[in-house]
């Protein structure tokens, strides 16, 4: 029995030793497995982080390329506006955007250099950027020196070069390449994250297995208990690390979501900016179109009005029916002339004659005209600033603009309501109201309590030929004419309206300062005393007009008035004729002519013929120069009647200094 007990004890000891060895082997295997899992998890995390970094790099390249393309587009758009309006602030915007594009290109070059596929494309893009800068420098320089048509022609030539298209193609290739790389990197990042999650789950399972194993083997020895405690502590540490890794993944995911949101917001802002730019370009293009149409239309009207007026003057014993038809034709031509003046006002090409005026006095002087126009059921109220500033603008155009606003208000109120005129002195910051530069302005607000306008109507209110009135009740040029007058006067106009709450149209006009007197344009020909019969009889008048029909009509009218006209088709021919003759008393010249404009021709002959009288005849001043170039000379607008021509010629002759030989 004893031997049996000893054998059993030895067998129990051997069994215990076997179990301890088995526990040690199991613990060692578990430790090796745990270490291997920790190493694999760490490597997987590093691989995932690297994949996320490469993915973010691709996003940076794509965003930078799109931002560079947008900056170059804004720069060229600003240059286009600078070529058209000659505003140096617009030129500065073009220069700043182009430099910003250069900085973006440098950054794109730097971050794309490690990619052997993208590096050659970015190098070519750098060369095209330099080449495109040289192409745009020529129109920018001409626009800076106010060379209107040459600058516009050079800019048009620059727009036809293949450089911009090649730049756009390179941008698309760079983005497409990076998008392809982004797809691969995104797949790699997803795979790395999945592998990391799997290893983390496996690590958690191993920790649980170790805890269970330690619980089962803990009763064998204190060492086993200690090992179990150590394993539990290691498992807890690995769990904490797994939690930290999960938090890191959540943080990276949040960062990517925020980056995507920023990209979406930038895309929305860019779309809004592009829509605004398209609207401005549309309005500028319509202005150029209306100015060109008005120019040709005025030439035709000059022939019609001149011929009809000449025929009417020669009617003596013809039937009364002929005279009535001629009167009807004259009325139609005059209405067409009024239409072209509205087109020119919108196109900002109508020659203005600004001076310092008190808006309160002008509004008070319109009271009788407003009462007759609006009727008795509309009450007119005025609210004037206590110490109102004077404004610098054409008083006739301002009166016409206020009358147009009053008529629109009358129609909106259906002939009954309250119309309020208010003036206020305001100080505007740069860009606070439309395109008005910073400075002092006088705000003239016209408010009615009519039906109001919807936001869509307000947005299109200044477009030419847009009207909500029934057919035959309006041309749609009233507000567009006011828009052109305000912009040409270096001011701004705004509309505030809502359905059922009335409308307020505010004109912001620059404050008058005495420094503006130096650039005052010429006064109307009607302000001069008429020439004497001796001045008219046989006086030689040089007629410079590129349109043959207008030239013939003007020559016939001057002959009818008793002058001796000499026709010329252009500036060079006129200069040559003046060099051969010294009996010319007056030059009647068109403003916009091919080759040499009227102001350019007058500037060339001024040193050799200082006493020669000049009368400008224009239907579209357009790109021929500013009002300062007409200073000290009279301006007659096309179309004109013989009576208007007679008065203008007489005034120009009376204004010119008498030559010494004539005085003798």
Q: How confident is the model over 8-43, as pLDDT tens digits?
A: 444 544 555 666 677 667 767 777 777 887 787 778
Q: Look at residue 514 and tell me if it is in a domain.
A: yes
End-to-end Cα separation, the chain, in angstroms: 170
Amino acid 13: pLDDT:
46
Same domain for 121 and 263, yes or no, is yes
Residue 271: the pLDDT is: 75
The confidence band for 519, taking pLDDT boundaries of 50, 70 and 90, is very low
Where is pLDDT greater, at 658 or 120? 120
Is residue 663 over pLDDT 50?
no
Domain membership of residue 593 (yes or no) is yes
Q: Is the pLDDT of residue 518 over 80?
A: no
Stated length of the chain: 664
- Give 111-161 pLDDT, tens digit per residue: 888 888 888 888 888 998 898 888 888 888 888 888 878 878 888 888 788
Q: What is the pLDDT of residues 307-356, one digit of tens each?
A: 666 666 666 555 555 665 566 566 666 656 665 665 555 454 455 667 88
- pLDDT tens-digit profile of 538-590? 789 999 999 888 899 899 989 989 999 999 999 999 999 999 888 999 999 99
What is the band of 299 on the pLDDT scale with cuts at 50, 70, 90? low
Give the single-character DSSP code of 511.
Answer: B
Using an 8 Å Cβ cutoff, are 450 and 502 in contact? Answer: yes
In eight-state DSSP terms, residue 520 is P
In a domain, 437, yes or no: yes
Specify the higher pLDDT residue, 431 or 18.
431
Say if 6 falls within a structural domain: no
Least confident span in 377-386, 533-542, 597-606: 533-542
- Please state which of the ranges 49-53, 349-353, 361-365, 603-607 shows the lowest mean pLDDT: 349-353
pLDDT tens-digit map of 602-645: 999 989 988 899 998 987 655 445 555 665 678 888 778 888 89
Assigned domain for 12 exists? no
Instruction: Output the CA–CA distances (angstroms, integers) from residue 485 to 172, 338, 471, 478, in the order listed.
Output: 43, 15, 26, 11
- Looking at residue 388, which CATH number applies to its domain? 3.30.565.10
CATH code of the domain in which 567 resides: 3.40.50.2300
**With a threshold of 0.75, does the pTM exceed it?**
no
Once rounded to an integer, what is the mean pLDDT over residues 200-219?
Answer: 69
Q: Are residues 499 and 535 in the same domain?
A: no
Residue 392 is predicted with a pLDDT of 86
Give the residues across from 584 on adjacent strands. Answer: 540
In this prediction, residue 522 carries a pLDDT of: 44
Does 196 score more than 80 pLDDT?
Answer: no
SS3 543: strand
Confidence of residue 267 (pLDDT cuts 50, 70, 90): confident
3-state secondary structure of 117: coil
Do 497 and 434 share a structural domain? yes
Q: In the structure, what pLDDT confidence band is assigned to residue 524 with cuts at 50, 70 and 90? A: very low
Higher-scoring residue by pLDDT: 458, 505: 505
DSSP secondary structure string for all residues of 258-298: HHHHHHHHHHHHHHHHHHHHHHHHHHHHHHHHHHHHHHHHH
The reported pLDDT for the residue numbered 285 is 53
Q: What total of structural domains would you count in the chain?
A: 4
CB distance 79 to 94 below 8 Å: yes
63-118 pLDDT tens trace: 888 888 888 888 888 888 888 887 888 888 888 889 898 899 898 888 888 888 88
**Whether residue 279 is found in the same domain as residue 297:** no
Query: Do residue 363 and residue 267 come from a single domain?
Result: no
The torsion of the CA quartet 91, 93, 96, 100, rounded to 10 degrees, works out to -130
Q: What is the pLDDT of residue 532?
A: 47
Higher-pLDDT residue of 285, 381: 381
Query: Burial letters for 522-537: b for 16+ Cβ neighbours within 10 Å, e otherwise?
Result: beebeebeebeeebbe
pLDDT for position 529 = 42
Structural domain contains residue 11: no
Which range in 58-72, 159-173, 235-249 is most confidently predicted, on average pLDDT?
Answer: 235-249
Residue 243 lies in a domain: yes
The verdict on 551 and 445 lying in the same domain is no
| Average pLDDT for 376-401 | 86
pLDDT at 534: 47
- Looking at the DSSP assignment, which residues form a beta bridge with residue 419? 380, 448
Q: Out of 249, 270, 286, pick the residue that ends a domain.
A: 286
HSE, side-chain direction, 13 A CA sphere, residue 473: 10
Q: What pLDDT does residue 540 have?
A: 92
Which residues lie closer than 8 Å to 156 by C-beta, 6 or more apart? none
DSSP codes, 607-648 = TT-TT-EEEEEES--GGG--GGGGTTSEEEESS--HHHHHHH
> Percent of the chain beyond pLDDT 90?
12
Strand 355-357 and strand 564-568: the pairing is unpaired
How do strand 584-590 and strand 439-448 relate by DSSP bridges? unpaired
Q: What pLDDT shows up at residue 20?
A: 63
The answer, yes or no, to whether residue 174 has pLDDT greater than 50, is yes
Domain boundary among 257, 286, 315: 286
**List of residues 6+ apart from 508 with CB closer than 8 A:** 426, 428, 433, 436, 441, 442, 443, 486, 491, 492, 493, 494
Whether 49 and 176 share a structural domain: yes
Q: How far apart are CA 123 and CA 112, in angstroms?
A: 10
Q: Are residues 334 and 359 in the same domain?
A: no
Looking at the fold, whether 94 and 159 belong to one and the same domain comes out as yes
Average pLDDT, the chain: 78
Are 399 and 309 found together in one domain?
Answer: no
Residue 10 lies in a domain: no
**Can you tell me the distance from the alpha carbon of 633 to that of 640, in angstroms, rounded to the nearest whole number?**
18
Please check whether residues 301 and 423 belong to one and the same domain: no
pLDDT band at residue 526 under the 50/70/90 scheme: very low
User: Do 49 and 105 share a domain, yes or no?
Assistant: yes
Domain that holds residue 570: 525-663
pLDDT at 60: 84
Q: What is the CA radius of gyration of the chain?
A: 42
Q: Which of 496, 519, 542 is the last residue of a domain?
A: 519
């Amino acid at each position: 029995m004893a031997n049996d007990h000893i054998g059993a004890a030895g067998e129990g000891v051997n069994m215990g030793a076997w179990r301890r060895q088995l526990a040690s082997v199991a613990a060692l295997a578990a430790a090796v497995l745990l270490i291997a899992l920790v190493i694999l998890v760490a490597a997987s995390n590093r691989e995932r982080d690297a994949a996320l970094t490469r993915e973010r790099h691709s996003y940076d390249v794509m965003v930078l390329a799109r931002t560079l393309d947008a900056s170059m587009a804004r720069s060229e758009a600003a240059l286009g506006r600078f070529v058209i309006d000659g505003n140096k602030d617009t030129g500065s915007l073009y220069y700043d955007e182009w430099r910003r594009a250069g900085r973006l290109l440098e950054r794109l070059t730097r971050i794309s250099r490690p990619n052997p596929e993208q590096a050659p494309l970015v190098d070519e893009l750098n060369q095209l950027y330099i080449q495109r800068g040289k192409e745009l420098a020529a129109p920018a320089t001409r626009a800076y020196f106010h060379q209107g048509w040459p600058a516009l022609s050079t800019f048009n030539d620059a727009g036809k070069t293949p450089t911009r298209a090649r730049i756009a193609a390179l941008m698309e290739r760079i983005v497409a390449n990076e998008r392809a790389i982004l797809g691969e990197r995104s797949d790699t990042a997803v795979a790395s994250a999945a592998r990391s999650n799997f290893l983390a789950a496996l690590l958690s399972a191993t920790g649980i297995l170790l805890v269970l194993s330690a619980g089962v083997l803990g009763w064998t020895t204190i060492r086993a208990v200690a090992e179990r405690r150590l394993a539990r502590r290691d498992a807890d540490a690995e769990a904490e690390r797994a939690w930290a890794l999960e938090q890191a993944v959540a943080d990276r995911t949040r960062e990517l979501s925020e980056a995507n949101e920023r990209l979406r917001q930038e895309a929305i802002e860019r779309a809004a900016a592009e829509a605004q730019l398209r609207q401005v370009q549309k309005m500028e293009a319509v202005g150029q179109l209306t100015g060109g149409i008005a120019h040709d239309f005025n030439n035709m009207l000059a022939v019609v009005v001149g011929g009809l007026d000449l025929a009417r003057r020669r009617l003596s014993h013809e039937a009364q029916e002929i005279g009535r038809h001629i009167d009807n034709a004259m009325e139609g031509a005059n209405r067409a002339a009024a239409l072209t003046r509205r087109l020119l006002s919108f196109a900002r090409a109508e020659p203005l004659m600004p001076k310092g005026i008190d808006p309160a006095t002008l509004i008070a002087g319109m009271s009788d005209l407003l009462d007759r126009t609006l009727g008795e059921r509309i009450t007119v109220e005025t609210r004037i600033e206590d110490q109102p500033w004077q404004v610098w603008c054409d008083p006739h155009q301002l009166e016409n603009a206020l009358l147009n606003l009053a008529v629109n208000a009358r129609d909106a109120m259906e002939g009954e309501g309250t119309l309020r005129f208010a003036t206020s002195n305001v100080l505007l910051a740069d860009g606070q109201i439309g395109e008005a530069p910073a400075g002092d302005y006088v705000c003239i607000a016209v408010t009615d309590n009519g039906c109001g306008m919807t936001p869509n109507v307000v947005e299109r209110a200044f477009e030419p030929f847009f009207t909500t009135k029934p057919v035959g009740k309006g041309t749609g040029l009233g507000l567009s004419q006011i828009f052109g007058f305000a912009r040409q006067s270096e001011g701004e106009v705004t509309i505030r309206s809502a359905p059922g709450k009335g409308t307020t149209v505010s004109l912001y006009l620059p404050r008058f300062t005495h420094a503006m007197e130096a650039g005052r344009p010429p006064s109307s020909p009607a302000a001069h005393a008429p020439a004497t019969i001796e001045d008219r009889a046989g006086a030689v008048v040089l007629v410079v007009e590129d349109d043959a029909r207008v030239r013939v009509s003007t020559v016939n009218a001057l002959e009818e008035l008793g002058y001796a006209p000499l026709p010329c088709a252009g500036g060079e021919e006129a200069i040559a004729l003046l060099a051969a003759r010294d009996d010319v008393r007056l030059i009647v010249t068109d403003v916009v002519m091919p080759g040499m404009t009227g102001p350019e021709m007058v500037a060339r002959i001024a040193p050799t013929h200082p006493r020669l009288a000049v009368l400008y005849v224009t239907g579209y001043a357009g790109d021929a120069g500013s009002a300062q170039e007409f200073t000290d000379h009279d301006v007659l607008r096309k179309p004109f009647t013989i009576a208007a021509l007679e008065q203008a010629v007489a005034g120009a002759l009376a204004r010119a200094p008498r030559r010494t030989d004539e005085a003798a």
